[in-house]
Structure 1
């Protein structure tokens, strides 16, 4: 079979190599999946660089999110068990973590539903307790993680303010449903948020960026607001001023979605059921802006790493397609 291998750490376009090899052999409690589509995530680039919190032994195949087919023909979504990731014709996954692919979504969309939307659901509902009528600020609103949070926020009845970088991403954020879109390259984010909220600020901040984005969030979060820290795509991990959180009376919430697989896996299943319902209603639908063949995976991962994409980019194999 064909699979992308990382034999040394570095930039994805430099260290990913498409090679022929044997199909992986599942271990105890695992299943072999025929990959139909694999969604690209920013952590795939971090894996290549050796900067992710999980560091599989070299060589490994990246690809953390797939829609695949089981030996008995079931169409499923899963997070592959590294080192046998999803940028390959076959991947391995833990049987207990395999979920049914929503019928309302095609293969690329189904692959993109898992990590980003689960993260968004847990962040907004489990951690922040977002309520209808509240105001949600989403950083990187046109990106893979941010776009999921925008749709989930709208589905929850929130007013959504999206922060993006560039005019092209502004248009995408509006199409996703943002009530207000702020271009951080052209606008003063803090001033624009205060103007949009009448000076009150926002109830919930969803921050997958860190760095300057977090500093802006602390300035615009409202009384009893909640800042959900999802990741650090900027490469800068902020050091919150806890005295500021005290005097403004807001909460800083961390979210490591992967922990729920071991700490409370039933919640992952519950979340998937809810996401499947929302997909069937048309309330959420992953924005797959680009679909590339397996041969184009390395270049696509690099584009995601460089912040050159909107929504989600998916690798679609010949055996994959629309439902």
Structure 2
């Protein structure tokens, strides 16, 4: 089969198309003929050797796929690498049969980023109706879903996005307020637009942006950290947390892989929301498998909107 292989860490150019042996069936897994593979910031960190979990070279990146089993059933699933390929093994605990009314591209958008958005809001910050919440990268795969889920919960959504087009998209998705995420006065812009500090916030940029968002969180507020897209991590003095009684919680989706109920609950809710029409995943560009490097360059440049994916037939 064809797959993207990394023989070294580095820029997008290290993602090379190669012929590798076909996969063998594995007990407890579904063997899929992959139709689409998701592209995520986690893959960028893997490529640059800055991912939370170390990888061993040579390596095929990709943590989510959708495809069919030999008997024709369609599944979407999470993997721990190996997704950028024509075949993939997905564990039965982290894969779900896709309802007929949900497309491959929609299912893929729900798998990693949809599940993450759901648990960031429900499990980590426990968002409640009437609260104000900051959602970053609001036109991206995860952020665009989080905007819609937060509105369904009855929250006031302050969406962060870097361009006018992305801010307009966030508004169309239901954001109450949009703020330029590249502002040099981000804390002031958030609090001014929101009419004060917010009760909850998500953060995935790191560095100075992390501190700007944290400063916009009210006393006894909650901040969920799920990335550092800038490449810079951040530290918080415990004195600050105690003085303001702020909760800062980290989140990494694989921490839920061993939970037999958590992801099943969120996937059922997400599939249901798409079916009912209350959730509309934003579908971004689809690249041929042999253009994985271009997909990574687009993602890293943050010029995209919605969910990026690879077509394994291309």
TM-score of Structure 1 vs Structure 2, range by shorter chain: over 0.9
**Equivalent-residue separation in structure 1 for 2:56 and 2:109 (angstroms):** 25
TM-score by length of 2: 0.94
RMSD of the alignment, in Å? 1.8
Counterpart Cα distance in 2 of 1:25 and 1:80: 16
2:239 is matched with which residue?
243
Matches within 5 A, 1:149-168: 149-168=146-165
1:46 aligns with 45
Matched residue, 1:128: 125
Cα-to-partner distance string for 1:48-81 (whole Å, 9 max, x where unaligned): 2222122332222111111111122111111134
1:196 and 2:189 aligned: no
Q: Which residue matches 1:111? A: 108
- Equivalent of 1:170, from 161, 167, 172? 167
Of 179-188 and 214-223, the range deviating more from structure 2: 179-188
Post-superposition shift, 1:21?
A: 2.7
Cα deviation for residue 186 of structure 1 reads 4.7
Alpha-carbon distance in 2 for matches of 1:218, 1:98: 35
Residues 170-220 of structure 1: per-residue CA shift (max 9 Å, x gap) = 222222221111113357322222222322x11110111121222112211
Where 1:265 maps in the other structure, the secondary structure is: coil
CA contact (8 A) 1:77 1:98 kept: yes
Structure 1 residue runs of 5 or longer lacking an equivalent are none
Answer yes or no: is 1:66 the counterpart of 2:61. no
Comparing 94-103 with 117-126, which one deviates more in the overlay?
94-103
Q: Tell me the residue number matched to 1:274.
A: 269
Where do 5+ consecutive residues of structure 2 fail to align? none
Whole-angstrom CA distance in 1 between matches of 2:226 and 2:32: 29
Residues 78-116 of structure 1: per-residue CA shift (max 9 Å, x gap): 11343xx22211112223322122433311121121111
| Deviation larger for 212-221 or 23-32 | 23-32
Say whether the 8 Å CA contact 2:93–2:257 is kept in structure 1.
no
1 CA distance for matches of 2:183 and 2:243?
Answer: 31
Deviation at 1:123, TM superposition (A): 1.1
For residues 227 and 20 of structure 1, the distance between their equivalents in structure 2, rounded to whole angstroms, comes to 44
- Closer, same or farther: CA 45–197 of 1 in aligned 2, 3 Å: closer
Match of 1:233 in 2: 229
Aligned partner of 1:296 in structure 2 is 291
| 3-state SS of paired residue (2:67) | strand
Structure 1 CA distance, aligned partners of 2:98 and 2:183? 40
Structure 2 residue aligned with 1:311, among 278, 299, 306? 306
Q: Does the aligned pair in 2 maintain the 1:165–1:184 contact within 8 Å? A: yes
Q: 1:186 to 1:227 in 2, by over 3 A?
A: closer
Q: What are the Cα deviations for residues 136-173 of structure 1, in whole angstroms up to 9, with x where unaligned?
A: 10122222222221121112111100111122322222
User: How many residues of Structure 1 are paired with residues of Structure 2 in the alignment?
Assistant: 314
Q: State the distance in 2 between where 1:187 and 1:174 align.
A: 22
CA contact (8 A) 1:105 1:285 kept: no
Aligned match of 2:252: 256
Q: In structure 2, what is the Cα distance between the partners aligned to 1:182 and 1:194?
A: 10
Is residue 67–residue 76 contact of structure 1 (8 Å, CA) maintained in 2? Answer: yes
3-state SS of 1:23 partner: coil
Tell me by how many angstroms 1:304 deviates.
0.8
Mapped pair 1:88 → 2:85: yes
Match in the other structure for 2:77: 78
Cα distance between partner residues in 2 of 1:186 and 1:253:
25
Match status 1:212 vs 2:211: no
CA contact (8 A) 1:64 1:79 kept: yes
Equivalent position of 2:139 in the other structure: 142
